[in-house]
Structure 1
């Protein structure tokens, strides 16, 4: 997320799961301390496709594995904070 922010992307949010499994089919859960160190995490980044594709090279040097998907969305409502009052 910090790299996305430094890259100037429009927004990013990190979601930490309480339970999940992946390609190994091993269930990781907060209920077992021994399995709580590898909980599922999803990072959602919002920006235009070309900017996200340009950012993806930043991820190659990180020691992580995972799945990256690009999804087209239709924004039906957006109201940002009024930063003029700050």
Structure 2
């Protein structure tokens, strides 16, 4: 697959302890993105943050959290992002944030298997 030109970046902000059918939500989303044949997804684990409940989650030793912030970034064509958004809607519940941005994809290619 080769992608260049206008695209969309979908960012999903969740907590490390969020679950979907008993497994970490971030992992369930990664599996969905792969299953749908999207260009890719990257998961970032934050060192500190707070969300809808205003409770700070941190890696600081005195305030060790088991629910650190997690951000997933998915970049693909607008059509593919819109397609997967419908599927993600059932997985992403209250207290989480999803944002969508226009991006210019300079180059995306992968090796042939």
Could you tell me which runs of 5 or more consecutive residues in structure 1 were left unpaired when the two chains were aligned.
none
Higher RCO (C-alpha under 8 Å, 6+ residues apart): 2
Number of aligned pairs?
81
> 1:2 corresponds to which residue?
31
Higher-helix-fraction structure: 1
Structure 2 counterparts to residues 43-62 of structure 1, below 5 A: 43-62=72-91
The 2-side partners of 1:62 and 1:24 are apart by 19
- Which stretches of structure 1, 4 residues or more, deviate above 2 A after TM superposition? 60-65, 78-81
- Considering only CA atoms, is the larger Rg found in Structure 1 or Structure 2? 1
Structural RMSD (CA):
2.1
Contact 1:20 / 1:39 at 8 angstroms: preserved in 2?
yes
Higher-strand-fraction structure: 2
Q: TM-score, normalising length from structure 2?
A: 0.60
Residues 15-68 of structure 1, C-alpha deviations (whole Å, 9 max, x = no match): 1101101122111011223xx122111100011112111101222332654211
Q: TM-score, normalising length from structure 1?
A: 0.76
